[in-house]
Structure 1
């Protein structure tokens, strides 16, 4: 950062506009701001700070009074600063918020704060080229370019007087607050916060895991029907599982015995069921044979019917086919008749065909030949059909061309009429547009006048109210004066009466044997008598009443003065005009404003109408030319197309003959060819149908004789459908199968000797087997329950083991995190009692101490060095931010509070410069090309001042500019380039004077 130019106007003690040219002032790299104490040297640094950040450093920021009290009424309070940061030069203009006199009348009004940033060369990437004008945007842009906040800038660039002396002697907490502002350790605070929140999260997770262990133990207890113990959960789970396994073994033994008994009862039941089934089968076989013997005659009839139907089946198929061929023959005759009628209908338009049909039925080859001839003739007419279609399209095109030519001609005439009236209309619109423009120019002044008259009318209408208020205020003041005078008279009267009765009051306080408060005598020969005495309480009440009346009088006088002042101010602003006069003038102005507003409101519309008129003239001209060209082209095309249509029409009439057109004649020929082919196809089919009928009738009669029937009709009577034949075959087969099955059953060896009337007791065996089954199922269910309990216990125990295995590392992790969080937050095993943030600040302070020691040793001729201490504080306080000095003369580490005034200044300056170096490196390196050191040089002797000047000379290396702020006279001899701030002889304003190099500022 390098400063170029600073302009100060009505700021602080500077009543006028003062300019500081830092380019000229800092040409040698070192300059001096000097002047008397209180002359305003530090105010220039405040001006730089305020221009950049909108606030000043130190306690001066709390006052928030920036305007010069003796500045001229019209002089604005404004700061302008030109500087270069990161290769970009820009100008900042700021106006603080302040109370300024009103432009009219008495009193003040608030001037709002403003700020703007303008780029004097190419802006940085992402910044608008026109600059920024919002106060917050200007501050953010400056902070982003400088890479530091306002607090960091105040500590690093404007090394403030007294600040580092306090920092040098500060307690740990105060020193920590400053370092936090400079180095931005918020992220380390967030890390501490993260550890604390992480510990809380892990503590909740660990509690959830422990709760999960308790829940799994409760579930195991629920399965085992026992209450889990508080301790020894693992042994208890093992014991429960062992007892459950023993119960399973006992239940398995009982279940096996029940299963054996169940099997024996089931075997007995199976034996009796088998025996009963044998008796049932024998009885059923005998019953089936008896039923079959009763149906012997019926089965003989079924066999006879089935044999005849099988012989007739060969005849019925051929007879059915003969019937189908007869049906086909009838349909062929119908189609032949239909084809003849169709051909006759087509032949009515063809004399040759009609004569052939009247002469007789032509044969098939003749019909085919005649159809081919018709198709050839129709094919020859195909091209002429297309020409006929084109003829129709061309006739329509002729009509369209005629209409187009007529329309284009009429359109050109209409456009010519429109063009004739456009110039006059355009001139009229331009006249109206000029009038609207003049009205727009006059609009703002009239609006301003209208607003002024409206405000004046409002004030004029307030005059009666203000007069009434002033009258009431005067009446109230007079009443208060009268009341105060009455109260004062009452007070004076009470005081006179009390003085008159004071002797009686004192006599009333006398007691026999007690000394008098006035003369000290114990004898009271003749005490005075008090007739109308006034006590102290009454006098006090009267005094308070008189004071209250005086206060009311004072308030009434103030109110009267304010009412008179307000009335006088309004009357003065009205300039002897009445409300009616102002109202009349306001009405005239408003009428004029309405007229001007209406006229100006038409400006945009009139501009659009003028542009539209000009565009319309060009468009209409182009349209008329286009319409004339279109009419000529349409007429030319119509003449050429009409000649083509006439020639084509003669050819088409000759080809159409007696038909309406060529297409009708061709369609007739195609229809005739189709009718001829249809008749030929019908006659071919009719001949084939006749032959098929004769052939199939002869085959059916031969098949009937071969099957033993007299004729086809007899075979038809014996025939049966497939369903009846299948029914007869199935009935005979079922009867044979039933007889064979019954005899096969009786022939089985295992049924030999079984009587069909034998009785077997199955029910008693079934009941015994059911009882054995129920007992076995009950014992199996008991075994299953014990087995399920063991399985559930095994599953729950496995889950519990998994939870316990996860719990152990979680407890270890939490213990580690808990200890680490305590260390990060400066507790637990943290012997230094330093939090992470304090540790980082201690490291930064150690860097500052190292950087500051280099300059302190140089300034103190190698005597003093800074010593950083990270030892914990007393009474358990956090440490790490201790800063002492090492005195090489004694070899002892001393507290910074033991340094003398000059030594403290050297140490403070070294500490400030070291801190500036560290912060500059932290924020991006060599950005700080300008540095200011404010006061403190008066405590140094000549030799030490030489050393300090050598150190400051070193700061100029690399193009850095160092500005010293001091009233020490010796510095004026050592620094040739300087700027003097001198108080003016009148008032409290100051002015800036140049030094040896000429005028560096303008008074």
Structure 2
């Protein structure tokens, strides 16, 4: 990578357009950026970094404020860099995000960041010829061409002020983080985490298997009721448990067989005794039944007579009920006839033929009126329609008047709505101006309120400065006084050091005839040194106090200048007015959309009202025409219907009256015929009752009715007689059966003794069966658990071995266990890279330190067991001992840091495979070096230049300015910094 040209505009302290020609600067391979402190030397390096990566190094990148504060508002901030990388010449142009004044109105707006890449010598085949304009695409392309990230760039190409020495002084953890970023060793950290996660997963699996083994051992112990002895072999203990369970099962099964046979013999004896007792009981029950039935014989005969009489009376009762029903039918027919005669308007005793003819005449008249019913119904419908039309015409005429009134008021409403919309739009435009002015006034008000405090700070700082000047003057006076007094007593001080026989350090004589006498209040050398140190401290405090007073005064002047002629009460009142106006404008502007919609609705209402009026008037005309036609038709039909109604209100009522009259006459005829039929049927049923009583063998109908019994009573008698016969037959059959032949009813059976013996035998057999079942279940469960336990043991062994191997390997990879150096895999890789850096940096450090210092890489573990591998010390050839880098002096630290940074740059460039780095920038404190050391550093930089690289230095050291022939001077003024090429 070689830089050609840099253009900066309104960037940092540069308010105008400035150009840096790196081709002219780097023609000799070494150039210098020099100038006053704060002039903007480091800003040029920031501009190069910003053009490449859109970022600046160090703490300046965290502020993200790159625009020049004094630049013209219309001048855009941008950086343009031309460079060649990997044979491709290109131009990079970037602009940061910043605030600029609005083109219209007051206030500020955000100018977004921009970036572009232009190919100057023809675009590569995979790139668009027009270049790139997206920030992310430009960033990816630059990083791909350079082959390094922004962090690597700041460590390899641009060594920023106060940054590259950090690597030398950092501890192991910080050095590990930086090396990991530079060399991209995150993948080794992933390997370490992979081993840890794999070990954790396998550990959980092994723990799960071990837990299952413990649970199975516990289950076996629970089942067999014994725990294995401490330290005993679990497999041998399991085999003993299985054998003991099998022996217990065999003994329980033998005892169960013996007791089962005893139970069967006792139950057989009990069954025989129970059968004999049942036969004796049956004989006794049969004899008792026959004796009881003989005693109840008279009662049973009375039941049979009562049942037979009730059965003979059944036909008489049926005929009697039929006669009563015929009598009830006759009574109902009489009542119906009386009711029909009362409702008729004719003679009820008239002949039936005359009544039938009268009913037919009424029906025929009603039929003639049927043709007028549809016209009567239509008449009612038309009258309702006439009323509806009249109401609709009235409603439409009222609606027409309302629409006409609305149409007349529309122009005035539209004008008012337009005024409201314009008011909201004006409020929206005015709001931005009021907000900007409010922000400005609020800032001025804060400045006005800060001025009293700033004035107090100036007074306090001025007082402290005066006190510091007085204190320094007193310290200086004391130092001068002590020096004068010490000079006065110097002879006595030298005389105090003389020893008889030893030569005088002044004249060389071994004799001291008249040594000086001590003076009063003798001043010693250490007194003078203490006074000089106190004077220097007072001088430093005076400088700090004066600087603080100047800064406080400058800050106060800036506040007063920014405030101008404004006063705090005026600003507060104006701010209150602006805030009230802002709230009013915000409320009005917020209604713009609503007011615009209302205006659009009113404008659309004009045509809508016209259409509605046209439709409404057409409907009114049609309704009036239909209403007039219906009125004429209704009047003509009403004359015809009046004759058909007669004295009734409607045709339907007259026709219904005629039909009802015909129906009542027909009902009267039907009632007279029904009464005649009921009287004949009643006479027939009374004769049938008398005949049925005689046929049943009763003397009279009353005797037959007295023998009546309910069906429930008859069923009870039949069931009782059947039960008597069944009991007698059963008892006689039981006594006559062969089974009970020869059985004596007085025989005594010993059943209790046999029952007790059978119960004892059955309980003993059940207990033995339960014990055998438990023994069998326990033996089966132990066998199953033993199979599962041996299977778990078989799987646990290889799993434990595999986990132990994985755990040991994971510990080694992560710097623990058998890893004696306590180095993780990532640290080991970084240590190898650091060793390469130390070798590359040692070559330059030995030359710059005239062979005195060398870097020593240490892979020993840290204190208190911390990880090692990234230690970096310095070998001092004068003492032959290794010492920490932090013990180096300021100049020595600079040499070591510079050597380490150059070595790190070489190794990182070789590791990343990036572009050839032809340009290198160093921004660091060369002022800590003496003349000879500076010569060595310049020789090392000459070596870099001889290798074809261009080295740019940033320094204000005068000796370096004299040594370097080509340099870029930065001048600072109140209007901004400028650049001047010097040779």
Matched, 1:201 2:201: yes
- Within 5 Å, which residues of 2 pair with 1:294-305? 294-305=295-306
Could you give the per-residue CA deviations for residues 721-770 of structure 1, whole angstroms, max 9, x where no partner exists?
Answer: 12212222222222222233333333334444444333332222223333
Of 532, 550, 572 in structure 1, the residue corresponding to residue 561 of structure 2 is 572
Question: Deviation at 1:253?
Answer: 3.1
Of 381, 402, 405 in structure 2, the residue corresponding to residue 393 of structure 1 is 381
Question: Deviation at 1:312?
Answer: 1.3
Which SS does the other structure have where 2:147 is aligned? helix
Question: Deviation at 1:574?
Answer: 3.3
- 1:34 & 1:659 partners in 2: Cα distance? 132
Could you give the per-residue CA deviations for residues 517-544 of structure 1, whole angstroms, max 9, x where no partner exists?
Answer: 9999999999968766678888787777
Question: Deviation at 1:296?
Answer: 1.8
Matched, 1:412 2:400: yes
- 2:485 & 2:198 partners in 1: Cα distance? 85
Distance 1:661 1:97, change over 3 A: closer
Of 460, 465, 479 in structure 1, the residue corresponding to residue 448 of structure 2 is 460
Structure 1 contact 152–181 (Cα < 8 Å) conserved:
no
Which residue is equivalent to 2:323? 322
Distance 1:793 1:754, change over 3 A: same
Distance 1:117 1:569, change over 3 A: closer
Which residue is equivalent to 2:723? 734
Which residue is equivalent to 2:708? 719
Of 656, 659, 681 in structure 2, the residue corresponding to residue 667 of structure 1 is 656
Distance 1:800 1:151, change over 3 A: same
Of 695, 703, 706 in structure 1, the residue corresponding to residue 695 of structure 2 is 706
- 1:375 & 1:19 partners in 2: Cα distance? 128
Could you give the per-residue CA deviations for residues 407-445 of structure 1, whole angstroms, max 9, x where no partner exists?
Answer: 433443444344444435544655666566556555544
- 1:211 & 1:591 partners in 2: Cα distance? 76
Which residue is equivalent to 1:745? 734
Question: Deviation at 1:707?
Answer: 0.8
Question: Deviation at 1:789?
Answer: 2.5
Structure 1 contact 473–559 (Cα < 8 Å) conserved:
yes
Which residue is equivalent to 1:278? 279
- 2:631 & 2:81 partners in 1: Cα distance? 90
CA RMSD of aligned residues (A): 6.6
Distance 1:274 1:392, change over 3 A: same
Question: Deviation at 1:703?
Answer: 1.8
Matched, 1:155 2:147: yes
- Within 5 Å, which residues of 2 pair with 1:28-67? 37=29, 54-55=54-55
Structure 1 contact 55–61 (Cα < 8 Å) conserved:
no
- Within 5 Å, which residues of 2 pair with 1:690-705? 690-705=679-694
Distance 1:709 1:546, change over 3 A: farther
Question: Deviation at 1:702?
Answer: 1.9
Distance 1:416 1:518, change over 3 A: same
Could you give the per-residue CA deviations for residues 825-852 of structure 1, whole angstroms, max 9, x where no partner exists?
Answer: 9999xxxxxx9999xxxxxxxxxxxxxx
Distance 1:189 1:335, change over 3 A: farther
Structure 1 contact 394–645 (Cα < 8 Å) conserved:
yes
Which residue is equivalent to 1:763? 752
Structure 1 contact 505–530 (Cα < 8 Å) conserved:
no
Which SS does the other structure have where 2:113 is aligned? strand
Which residue is equivalent to 2:113? 115
Structure 2 contact 276–749 (Cα < 8 Å) conserved:
yes
Question: Deviation at 1:718?
Answer: 0.8
Matched, 1:629 2:618: yes
Distance 1:488 1:374, change over 3 A: farther
Which SS does the other structure have where 2:313 is aligned? helix
Which residue is equivalent to 1:955? none
Question: Deviation at 1:660?
Answer: 0.6
User: 656-665 or 265-274: which moved more?
Assistant: 265-274
Which SS does the other structure have where 2:648 is aligned? coil
- 2:693 & 2:753 partners in 1: Cα distance? 70
Runs (5+) with no aligned partner, structure 1: 21-30, 84-89, 104-109, 121-131, 165-175, 345-353, 829-834, 839-873, 876-907, 917-931, 938-964, 969-981, 993-1003
Could you give the per-residue CA deviations for residues 247-273 of structure 1, whole angstroms, max 9, x where no partner exists?
Answer: 433333333332222233333333333
- 1:312 & 1:288 partners in 2: Cα distance? 34
Structure 2 contact 48–81 (Cα < 8 Å) conserved:
yes
Could you give the per-residue CA deviations for residues 484-525 of structure 1, whole angstroms, max 9, x where no partner exists?
Answer: 555655666677777788899999999999999999999999
Could you give the per-residue CA deviations for residues 800-857 of structure 1, whole angstroms, max 9, x where no partner exists?
Answer: 46546766887899799999999999999xxxxxx9999xxxxxxxxxxxxxxxxxxx
Structure 2 contact 18–978 (Cα < 8 Å) conserved:
no
Which residue is equivalent to 1:893? none
Which residue is equivalent to 2:212? 212
- 1:774 & 1:690 partners in 2: Cα distance? 88
**If the length of structure 1 is used for normalisation, what is the TM-score?**
0.63
**If the length of structure 2 is used for normalisation, what is the TM-score?**
0.65
Structure 1 contact 7–18 (Cα < 8 Å) conserved:
yes
- 1:252 & 1:419 partners in 2: Cα distance? 114
Question: Deviation at 1:448?
Answer: 3.6
- Within 5 Å, which residues of 2 pair with 1:972-991? none
Could you give the per-residue CA deviations for residues 114-164 of structure 1, whole angstroms, max 9, x where no partner exists?
Answer: 5347999xxxxxxxxxxx99xxx953x667xx6x8x754422999999979
- 1:326 & 1:805 partners in 2: Cα distance? 107
- 1:116 & 1:767 partners in 2: Cα distance? 112
Question: Deviation at 1:704?
Answer: 1.4
Which residue is equivalent to 2:771? 782
- 2:19 & 2:524 partners in 1: Cα distance? 73
Distance 1:712 1:495, change over 3 A: farther
Distance 1:14 1:644, change over 3 A: same
Structure 1 contact 374–670 (Cα < 8 Å) conserved:
yes
Structure 1 contact 151–182 (Cα < 8 Å) conserved:
no
Runs (5+) with no aligned partner, structure 2: 34-42, 84-89, 103-107, 119-131, 158-175, 818-823, 828-858, 861-905, 921-947, 952-965, 972-976
Question: Deviation at 1:309?
Answer: 1.4
Which SS does the other structure have where 2:208 is aligned? helix
- 2:484 & 2:603 partners in 1: Cα distance? 104
Which SS does the other structure have where 1:709 is aligned? coil
